[in-house]
Protein backbone atom coordinates (compact mmCIF):
# COMPACT_ATOMS: atom_id res chain seq x y z
CA UNK A 1 0.00 0.00 0.00
CA UNK A 2 1.16 3.47 -0.80
CA UNK A 3 -0.27 6.76 0.36
CA UNK A 4 -0.39 9.70 -1.97
CA UNK A 5 -1.33 13.22 -1.24
CA UNK A 6 -3.58 14.17 -4.14
CA UNK A 7 -4.21 17.66 -5.39
CA UNK A 8 -7.26 18.74 -7.35
CA UNK A 9 -6.29 21.37 -9.88
CA UNK A 10 -9.88 22.38 -10.31
CA UNK A 11 -10.88 23.30 -6.77
CA UNK A 12 -7.43 23.31 -5.23
CA UNK A 13 -7.99 20.90 -2.37
CA UNK A 14 -5.56 18.20 -1.39
CA UNK A 15 -6.30 14.98 0.40
CA UNK A 16 -4.63 11.68 1.16
CA UNK A 17 -5.56 8.50 -0.62
CA UNK A 18 -4.28 4.94 -0.48
CA UNK A 19 -3.35 2.81 -3.48
CA UNK A 20 -2.07 -0.73 -3.81
CA UNK A 21 1.00 0.53 -5.62
CA UNK A 22 2.26 3.39 -7.74
CA UNK A 23 1.43 1.26 -10.78
CA UNK A 24 -2.15 0.94 -9.63
CA UNK A 25 -2.37 4.69 -9.32
CA UNK A 26 -1.13 5.13 -12.90
CA UNK A 27 -3.58 2.52 -14.13
CA UNK A 28 -6.57 4.13 -12.40
CA UNK A 29 -5.47 7.54 -13.62
CA UNK A 30 -5.30 6.27 -17.18
CA UNK A 31 -8.76 4.79 -16.91
CA UNK A 32 -9.98 8.13 -15.55
CA UNK A 33 -11.04 6.50 -12.31
CA UNK A 34 -9.41 9.01 -10.03
CA UNK A 35 -11.49 12.05 -9.40
CA UNK A 36 -11.73 14.77 -6.81
CA UNK A 37 -13.53 14.05 -3.54
CA UNK A 38 -15.25 17.38 -3.63
CA UNK A 39 -15.92 18.50 -7.19
CA UNK A 40 -15.51 15.23 -9.08
CA UNK A 41 -12.96 16.75 -11.45
CA UNK A 42 -10.51 14.40 -13.15
CA UNK A 43 -7.76 16.98 -12.87
CA UNK A 44 -6.31 15.23 -9.86
CA UNK A 45 -2.57 14.91 -9.59
CA UNK A 46 -0.13 13.49 -7.14
CA UNK A 47 0.93 16.30 -4.89
CA UNK A 48 4.67 15.90 -4.78
CA UNK A 49 6.30 16.92 -1.55
CA UNK A 50 9.60 16.60 -3.31
CA UNK A 51 11.97 19.42 -4.23
CA UNK A 52 10.24 20.29 -7.48
CA UNK A 53 7.43 21.89 -5.57
CA UNK A 54 9.61 23.33 -2.87
CA UNK A 55 11.84 25.05 -5.38
CA UNK A 56 8.91 27.07 -6.59
CA UNK A 57 8.32 28.57 -3.20
CA UNK A 58 11.72 30.20 -3.12
CA UNK A 59 11.41 33.71 -4.44
CA UNK A 60 14.91 34.52 -3.45
CA UNK A 61 17.66 33.01 -5.57
CA UNK A 62 19.94 32.91 -2.55
CA UNK A 63 17.49 30.70 -0.68
CA UNK A 64 17.16 28.41 -3.67
CA UNK A 65 20.93 28.03 -3.89
CA UNK A 66 21.09 27.33 -0.20
CA UNK A 67 18.38 24.73 -0.57
CA UNK A 68 20.20 23.05 -3.45
CA UNK A 69 23.39 23.00 -1.42
CA UNK A 70 21.63 21.37 1.50
CA UNK A 71 19.96 18.88 -0.78
CA UNK A 72 23.34 17.96 -2.19
CA UNK A 73 24.66 17.49 1.32
CA UNK A 74 21.72 15.26 2.22
CA UNK A 75 22.37 13.22 -0.90
CA UNK A 76 26.00 12.77 0.09
CA UNK A 77 24.87 11.87 3.58
CA UNK A 78 22.46 9.28 2.21
CA UNK A 79 25.16 7.82 0.01
CA UNK A 80 27.43 7.50 3.00
CA UNK A 81 24.72 5.80 5.02
CA UNK A 82 23.84 3.44 2.20
CA UNK A 83 27.47 2.41 1.92
CA UNK A 84 28.17 2.06 5.61
CA UNK A 85 24.91 0.92 7.12
CA UNK A 86 22.61 -2.00 6.46
CA UNK A 87 19.09 -1.17 5.45
CA UNK A 88 16.58 -3.02 7.64
CA UNK A 89 13.44 -1.25 6.48
CA UNK A 90 10.52 -1.41 8.85
CA UNK A 91 12.34 -3.87 11.11
CA UNK A 92 14.38 -1.02 12.46
CA UNK A 93 13.04 -1.09 16.02
CA UNK A 94 13.37 -4.88 16.19
CA UNK A 95 16.91 -4.89 14.83
CA UNK A 96 17.96 -2.01 17.06
CA UNK A 97 16.75 -3.97 20.10
CA UNK A 98 18.48 -7.16 19.03
CA UNK A 99 21.76 -5.28 18.78
CA UNK A 100 21.19 -3.57 22.11
CA UNK A 101 19.95 -6.54 24.16
CA UNK A 102 21.51 -9.56 22.50
CA UNK A 103 24.69 -7.81 21.51
CA UNK A 104 24.08 -9.19 18.09
CA UNK A 105 27.25 -8.65 16.16
CA UNK A 106 27.01 -6.60 13.05
CA UNK A 107 29.78 -5.25 10.88
CA UNK A 108 27.72 -2.24 10.06
CA UNK A 109 25.23 0.03 11.72
CA UNK A 110 21.66 -0.13 10.59
CA UNK A 111 19.17 2.28 9.16
CA UNK A 112 15.53 1.95 8.39
CA UNK A 113 12.14 3.36 9.09
CA UNK A 114 10.55 3.76 12.48
CA UNK A 115 7.54 5.57 13.77
CA UNK A 116 7.82 8.41 16.26
CA UNK A 117 6.38 6.03 18.84
CA UNK A 118 9.10 3.46 18.08
CA UNK A 119 11.79 6.10 18.46
CA UNK A 120 10.39 7.26 21.76
CA UNK A 121 10.23 3.70 23.09
CA UNK A 122 13.78 3.00 21.97
CA UNK A 123 14.93 6.16 23.66
CA UNK A 124 13.13 5.16 26.87
CA UNK A 125 15.01 1.86 26.75
CA UNK A 126 18.29 3.68 26.43
CA UNK A 127 18.81 2.89 22.77
CA UNK A 128 20.15 5.83 20.92
CA UNK A 129 18.58 6.20 17.49
CA UNK A 130 19.06 9.24 15.35
CA UNK A 131 16.45 10.79 13.18
CA UNK A 132 18.03 11.76 9.90
CA UNK A 133 16.79 13.89 7.06
CA UNK A 134 15.95 11.85 4.02
CA UNK A 135 14.99 12.95 0.55
CA UNK A 136 13.57 10.59 -2.01
CA UNK A 137 15.79 10.37 -4.99
CA UNK A 138 13.70 11.02 -8.07
CA UNK A 139 15.96 8.80 -10.14
CA UNK A 140 15.31 5.80 -7.98
ZN1 LIG B 1 -11.87 19.28 -6.90
Find the domain containing 10 and state its range.
1-47
Kindly give the distance from the C-alpha atom of residue 23 to the centroid of ligand 1, in angstroms, as a whole number.
23
Residues 73 and 42 occupy one common structural domain: no
Statement to judge: residues 69 and 32 lie in one domain: no
Q: What is the 79 CA–ligand 1 centroid distance (Å)?
A: 39
State how many domains the chain has. Answer: 2
18/85 same-domain check: no
pLDDT score, position 136: 63
Residue 34 Cα, ligand 1 centroid: separation in angstroms? 11
Pair 35, 61 in one domain: no
Is pLDDT above 50 for 17?
A: yes
Report pTM: 0.48
What is the spatial distance between Cα 127 and Cα 15, in angstroms, rounded to a whole number?
Answer: 36
Asked if residues 129 and 119 have their Cβ atoms less than 8 Å apart, the reply is: yes
For residue 98, the CA-to-ligand 1 centroid distance in Å is 48
In this structure, the answer to whether residues 28 and 92 fall within a common structural domain is no
Both 6 and 30 in one domain: the answer is yes
pLDDT, tens digit (0-9, with 9 covering 90-100), for 33-69? 999 989 999 999 887 655 445 555 666 778 878 888 8
State whether 39 and 69 are in the same domain: no
Over the stretch 68-105, which tens digit does the pLDDT of each residue have?
888 888 888 888 888 988 888 888 899 899 888 887 67
Amino acid sequence: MIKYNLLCKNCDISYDSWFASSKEFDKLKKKKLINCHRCGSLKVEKNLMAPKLINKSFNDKKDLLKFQKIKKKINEYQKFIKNNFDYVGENFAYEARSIHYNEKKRDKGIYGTASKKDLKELKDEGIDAQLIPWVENENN
